[in-house]
Amino acid sequence: MIHLVALLGVLSISFSAVFIRLANVSPVTAVFYRAVYAVPALTTLWLASRTRDDRPSRARVLAFVSGLLLAADLAAWHESIALVGAGLGTVIANVQVVFVAALAWGLYGERPTTRTWLLLTGVLAGIALTSGLARHDAYGEAPVAGVFFGVFAGACYAVFLLMFRRANQEQGPRSGPLLDSTVGMAIGALLTTPLDPRFSFVPTWPGHMWLMLLAIVAQVVGWLLIGAALAELPSLETSILLLVQPVFALIWGRLIFDERLSALQWLGTALVLVGVATISMSGGKRQQADEKRSLRCPPYPLPDKR
């Protein structure tokens, strides 16, 4: 059952790029209203929760700051979608795994293995190919610029993930950290409005209908389902399931927007997906091994769970 929950969550967020393209608003406008339309729903869920929210202020601040980073990530990602398409834009943003590896090395001394270096090299080569190498048959309004914004989005997303996961380690309702982060995302969008000359507070139709769907389907339903699954499933399985998102996004881009990638772009997409999947699976296996070792040799004395 939990696998179905995870898959439904991934399916929900895979429509994000579709809703963004259909809304046809500026990047920061989409980020701002994605948060604004999600906050009332998340607040209702938070107030209705039977679990007391006793999270310390440090965890709340951390979730809020992660939302500021998510605003930068989404603004860059939305620009990438406009320049290179819904499917390819989603694939490129998944290079966040490269930045997570770099941050883990810099912050925690987790030096990548030779095999990981080779995989990261393959991912970077795939990113270069997704730009189409300036060939005439490359899909997208500006493929090279689209790849640049997608990679920047991946970097911001990597930092967001590290902070958001840390903020979720405290006991409390699942909607609490997501609500704090979404409020931070709205504030972050307002702070970046000077960088978006097309930003507008004026709702337009049907654009804002798609933004409402983006907020409810992706920001609320999708992330809550994925959060519930992450607490139950092993890291290896969640890594594989989350990789389904860019695959779904490629399918929607082809079916809904007739996005026809060049042969080089398809090759680059395959390199990115295979590299990200292999790195994620390797990380999941290492974490599972560590968990098994800790279960066999628990620290003494055991902490009081009450």
Whether residue 108 lies inside any domain: the answer is yes
Whether residue 8 lies inside any domain: the answer is no
Whether residue 244 lies inside any domain: the answer is no
Residue, of 104 and 298, whose pLDDT is higher: 104
pLDDT at 165: 76
What is the Cβ-side half-sphere exposure of residue 173, based on CA atoms within 13 angstroms? 17
Average pLDDT across the chain, whole number = 80
Whether residue 17 lies inside any domain: the answer is no
The tens digit of pLDDT for each residue in 101-118 reads 777 777 767 677 777 777
The tens digit of pLDDT for each residue in 257-283 reads 887 777 877 887 788 778 767 766 665
What is the Cβ-side half-sphere exposure of residue 67, based on CA atoms within 13 angstroms? 30
The tens digit of pLDDT for each residue in 46-58 reads 998 877 888 899 9
Mean pLDDT of 234-263: 74
Q: In the chain, how many domains are there?
A: 1
Using alpha carbons, select from 226, 223, 161, 220 the residue that is nearest to residue 35: 220
Whether residue 228 lies inside any domain: the answer is no
Whether residue 230 lies inside any domain: the answer is no
Which residue range is the domain that position 190 belongs to? 26-207+259-294
pLDDT at 293: 46
CB 98 within 8 A of CB 124: yes
pLDDT at 189: 96
Q: Rg of the chain over CA atoms, in angstroms?
A: 19
Of 126-135, 171-180, 193-202, 222-231, give the range with the top mean pLDDT.
193-202
The tens digit of pLDDT for each residue in 127-177 reads 777 766 656 666 667 888 888 998 899 899 888 878 887 887 777 787 888
Rounded to an integer, what distance in angstroms lies between the CA atom of residue 31 and that of residue 77? 10
Whether residue 123 lies inside any domain: the answer is yes
Give residue 21's identity as a one-letter amino acid code.
R
Rounded to an integer, what distance in angstroms lies between the CA atom of residue 54 and that of residue 31? 29
Whether residue 225 lies inside any domain: the answer is no
